[in-house]
Structure 1
């Protein structure tokens, strides 16, 4: 969708497109001692910096290839259907935009769309379904809402989402229990009382997901 065509594994180094993406995501999510003790960063004790630089080189080479293809195709056929990469390249060349971008900005935005737009969505869907399978009562309520709002004769459309209130709550609860960016901490926005306990504003909130998952009334 972003590139305007499907790239096969053989076009993304010998390891394959999916494998390289997953490898990079794995390195990025791996705890690193240097994140907590910056003075040790130069040592690269676990070799993560070296591995990430190698993966980023693969990404960069691939994105350079994608951009070069789009520039070449644009010069040949100006009337072809434009995709997301074409749009970014047009901003780079335009003098009417408020913020000027260069080729490095284009590659960074494409990489965000490619990785952040794919892995986070897949993780939320997978975790939400796994929770629903363990809590059949909640699963049944989601199914009933879908039947009442959408029916069984068509697919769910974006216009249906504002009426799927219970499904919305299920997704938000999944995000609360399993944030797609787990290093981000929960913080109370205002003073509140929870189960008789006073929680001041700006307090860090740590969730016992196991206890909540075991409570049928949660």
Structure 2
């Protein structure tokens, strides 16, 4: 007992000493900087500004910005960053100084990542990143590639509708969040590597489980940033857990890669030869490729797109349904538009979306209030001046997309759900027309580091919402309104499960 007490006391003293050294180092560095000092709230020794943060981080940063301005510096334990909270400063970072901020910071201990050096999303701005971005734009996520896989998205939406109709006929509730996550995961798995095409294939289920574990453990590992060098000691074992998760993912990917290479897939020729895996393997085998990909590069790319694409699209769909169900007038207008354009003899599909402007406005407004990536992460490569303040090279920069798209200086009644603000008619202050240069609305980021999968995400969200509204009336379990409390996950989803009773209003399968 005495030895344990001595060990515990020594460990606490050791941690305290290291954190104090780090704190004084940060203080000396900030005091020696030239130029105007960045605004910063009063901080506490060791923990910095951690005590000012609530469970919903972007909302906490938004509250601080209202007091200290649109560009502030925060110290979270041993980690320092700056936070951007309005459109004007975001434009400076993401456009005026775009090349300087074309880098993304790494969080957590990179030594635990099996694919170290191969990740596309966090890759340094250089030949590898530019090659992969070009590959996404011209082949992997191009409009022609998305068009080839329209049948996959339609099939998966029909599976979703059939599952909900079973719930309706049995008079039981459905967890709409679970159903929508299954939808987005299956779509992505099939487009990426044709993994749900075999009847006995559970790869899609296993991949999604691993992605959820990765996000949970990775978030905990990233918290180690507040401990500085102590975070690398992996005191809680999250690093080891992450290694095991990625190793399981690696085994699945290696087997799927071998099946594609040897032509052992169970799907028809069209789908198996056009999925993303096939395209990447074709580049991998090309001796004249501008950049020679490794097998780890391919696996890391798929891990990136599953981490970035599955839960985020599902969360956007859940927020969409929550907002629509909580606004009966909007629901009525949306249903009337779908009925007027599509009629009652067939199921709405993707080709109908351009003729459904109110649907598009509803989705835009959902993404304004509930961006699935609340922060756009950047890191400067050189010293620069932003909004009149000196920003050092290698400064981690968080663009608070959540706060920017709720800024009362940019939006009329910013906290209200008003799809009409996105419609092209004369309503003065109520209408905000988006454009590629309008930094008031950046749900998918901006510029070189903007989300390459935004077209796919919008396509899935719009088509799915249209089908759910066309085919069902909805009753919310436990009341008349959906609980809109925000969760603390990276995707900033609903805190409570979206439990509903679907009531069939149109059955496209009975014809």
Given the two structures, how large is their TM-score scaled by the length of structure 2? 0.33
Please list the CA deviations of residues 42-86 of structure 1 after superposition, one character each: whole Å capped at 9, or x if unmatched: 133443322222211111111111111222227x9xx94413312
2: CA distance between counterparts of 1:175 and 1:45?
38
Q: Paired residue for 1:21?
A: 211
Structure of greater Rg: 2
* 1:8 and 1:17 in contact (8 A); partners too: no
Please give the root-mean-square deviation of Cα atoms over the aligned residues, in Å: 3.6
Q: Paired residue for 1:131?
A: 323
Structure 1 residue 90 and structure 2 residue 282: aligned? yes
* 1:124 and 1:174 in contact (8 A); partners too: yes
1:105 aligned to which of 285, 294, 297: 297
The correspondence of residues 58-73 of structure 1 with structure 2, limited to 5 A, is 58-73=248-263
1: CA distance between counterparts of 2:288 and 2:224?
42
Aligned length: 195
TM-superposed CA distance for 1:162, in Å, is: 2.2
Q: Paired residue for 1:34?
A: 224
Q: Paired residue for 2:194?
A: 4
1: CA distance between counterparts of 2:258 and 2:370?
39
* 1:10 and 1:16 in contact (8 A); partners too: no
* 1:3 and 1:84 in contact (8 A); partners too: yes
Change (3 A) 1:38 1:8: farther
* 1:9 and 1:16 in contact (8 A); partners too: no
Q: Paired residue for 2:361?
A: 169
2:239 aligned to which of 49, 53, 56: 49
2: CA distance between counterparts of 1:4 and 1:93?
20
Unaligned runs of 5+ in 1: 204-208, 211-218
TM-superposed CA distance for 1:179, in Å, is: 2.0
TM-superposed CA distance for 1:38, in Å, is: 3.7
**RCO higher in structure (CA 8 A, sep ≥6):** 2
2: CA distance between counterparts of 1:169 and 1:31?
38
TM-superposed CA distance for 1:100, in Å, is: 2.9
TM-superposed CA distance for 1:159, in Å, is: 2.6
Given the two structures, how large is their TM-score scaled by the length of structure 1? 0.71
1: CA distance between counterparts of 2:319 and 2:284?
38
Change (3 A) 1:143 1:17: same
